[in-house]
Structure 1
């Protein structure tokens, strides 16, 4: 059924009063629109469409409820394009920073099939799963990073503040000082005398590392390490597998072609090796060999996943099977991250204890020697 649009037109925000009788005040601020804003938009749009609201009416309602300035402007322009007769997917495609190709392709398929609000609900679930995965990854890394930062802060404080106060005292027994104390005293002197040079060097090092990581060679090297380093390769493999299978399942189950679905998978995965694998699968499909044939030679993809994909392709249920594989590896990934987090905690505490122990012993042992000399 064709959508009926109102004659009003919402123009790009240029002030408080907008054309078409709609009063709109653009929210202030410079926060970029991200996953949270897209999820809010998707949830509101699905709900309004399900209640029978027209697409244009739903968009104008969302504009009034959106607090993020960039998102508000984007939805306003989308509503304007829709009111002028353009397709919703075409209007979304002009805002690639907010709506990725997967989102646009699925909306286009749903427009043709007349089941847009169902697809929007599925897109919302996919975004929610991605955010949940991101939160899990951040939570798993937060505590170890905190312990590392705290240990470094303790070391710097002891070397810069505590050790200098004992310097004159230790000079009288310099020949009897433990090697660890001598090394730490020398390090303390260097840090206090050349702190400007050290800070400048640290800043240059950080800038150089960031530049290398953003370069093609650096990015490729990091991508390789993620998929080949023991201990973390399984985690990153499952992360990329879940990301790609989410898109593949959702796309295929909503009528998107295999080639377009694979292209969407390639866009969503942030690893050059994994993207290369998906590109190889695309070539295999174009040649008529199928998805499973393109995955057969992959060294980092789990055999279980390859076998299930081959079975799904043979039975004509690739979309459904991809969803089942995705659900399975989501659970496995959560378990693995939890196990790694629990393993990292005692290791970091042990390292922190050793560092503090060396610092304390380097101070206490010379003091004992001084007390013996005095007695």
Structure 2
């Protein structure tokens, strides 16, 4: 579910600004609706610039200053200005970036720290940009797949509103003028539409309350994890979401290892990322096993949700000592496979929505037109 959850991360509804928080310990506040982490698109532009500027020989502090001057994201621009000020005052880049971890993300901060320590800062900056670009491409594919079904759902709601507000009232008047009692189902349909029109404020209030409650619950970790696990093991979406989640986990781990971060530190960074409950349990088990010196494959049998072949690849990676390479290769494979499956499922949903909309309109039309045709036929027979 992490991948689907990632669909909203470019808007970054992750944490709120503390200045608007209504209470310190509240599970949900209005502040949480404001982005506190810079969007991945803005981060991609900045890190592409930094990698190019530093590679061409420009001083790091000057490169950060130039990137801040051209950055359009106010949150990220402010963070870059603070990083530049900290470096100018003698702090190391890793310490300066660490202070802005909430804006740039913990994985980026750790990668920069490792790159600075190993003297591979330019390579790390370029790899961070490549990673962000891959994530944005994946999100673009998924969002593009979601667009048409979303438009169809909106069209369905529009058709329902037109029927309730304009079509059914006219048929109701026709039945009254002809002094004909419509069939029971038609009566229920007309009375339901009349009830909605008469209590539109109440109906809108209920809809708003449901939306606000859903948003509030989404910011509760237990609720988000419950929904994620439900989708993670669903018979329809489960396979695609499991491939996406494990693929993203493997790719992120490989990215951190490539940047010189130790295996244990990489796992602990993954623990601080947002995952569904099952994937989080896998990462927790990895941490415990690595601390005790048992490796990543000690308890893989306990996690039956892993994609086909993932356990064998991890065993091979530990035996050959090429963990970073195997994680990167397998992660890209599973992520691409998950994206393809999700795209296919969303494509399949399009005709289902169209058929559902047609059935709904057909039932409404038949329920009001057929009785009227019967009345007209009876009148003509007389």
In the superposition, the TM-score normalised over structure 1's length comes to 0.87
Partner deviation per Cα, 1:183-239 (whole Å, 9 max, x = no partner): 211111111212122222222222233333333442232122022111111122122
Question: Is 1:211 aligned to 2:197, yes or no?
Answer: no
Partner deviation per Cα, 1:238-295 (whole Å, 9 max, x = no partner): 2211221122111212321111111222233432331222011110111111111143
Question: Is 1:65 aligned to 2:70, yes or no?
Answer: yes
Other-structure match for 2:168: 163
Other-structure match for 1:139: 144
- The counterpart of 2:283, out of the listed 270, 278, 293, is 278
Instruction: Measure how far apart 1:345 and its partner are.
Output: 1.3
Other-structure match for 2:4: none
- 2:314/2:326 contact within 8 Å kept: yes
- 2:240/2:337 contact within 8 Å kept: no
Task: Map 1:152-231; keep pairs closer than 5 Å.
Answer: 152-171=157-176, 172=178, 174-175=180-181, 177-231=182-236
Question: Measured at CA, do residues 294 and 104 of structure 1 come closer, stay the same or move farther in structure 2, by a change above 3 Å?
Answer: farther
Question: Is 1:287 aligned to 2:292, yes or no?
Answer: yes
Q: Give me the whole-angstrom Cα distance separating, in 2, the residues matched to 1:294 and 1:108.
A: 31
Question: Is 1:348 aligned to 2:353, yes or no?
Answer: yes
Instruction: Measure how far apart 1:320 and its partner are.
Output: 0.6
Task: Map 1:250-329; keep pairs closer than 5 Å.
Answer: 250-329=255-334
Greater RCO structure (CA 8 Å; 6+ sep):
2
- The counterpart of 1:121, out of the listed 105, 126, 133, is 126
Question: Is 1:338 aligned to 2:326, yes or no?
Answer: no
Question: Is 1:54 aligned to 2:59, yes or no?
Answer: yes
Partner SS for 1:332? helix
- 2:244/2:339 contact within 8 Å kept: no
Q: Give me the whole-angstrom Cα distance separating, in 1, the residues matched to 2:35 and 2:222.
A: 31
Other-structure match for 1:18: none
In the superposition, the TM-score normalised over structure 2's length comes to 0.85
Partner deviation per Cα, 1:67-106 (whole Å, 9 max, x = no partner): 2222222111101111222111111111123211111111
Other-structure match for 1:374: 379
Question: Measured at CA, do residues 287 and 242 of structure 1 come closer, stay the same or move farther in structure 2, by a change above 3 Å?
Answer: same
Task: Map 1:87-98; keep pairs closer than 5 Å.
Answer: 87-98=92-103
| Structure number with bigger Rg | 1
List alignment gaps of at least 5 residues for structure 1: 1-29
Count matched residues: 345
Q: CA RMSD in A?
A: 1.9
Q: Give me the whole-angstrom Cα distance separating, in 2, the residues matched to 1:147 and 1:240.
A: 27
- 2:87/2:96 contact within 8 Å kept: yes
Partner deviation per Cα, 1:323-365 (whole Å, 9 max, x = no partner): 1101211321232122112211111111111111112212321
Q: Give me the whole-angstrom Cα distance separating, in 1, the residues matched to 2:351 and 2:210.
A: 30
- 1:240/1:274 contact within 8 Å kept: yes
Q: Give me the whole-angstrom Cα distance separating, in 1, the residues matched to 2:184 and 2:312.
A: 59
- 2:256/2:266 contact within 8 Å kept: yes
Q: Give me the whole-angstrom Cα distance separating, in 2, the residues matched to 1:220 and 1:72.
A: 33
Instruction: Measure how far apart 1:31 and its partner are.
Output: 8.1
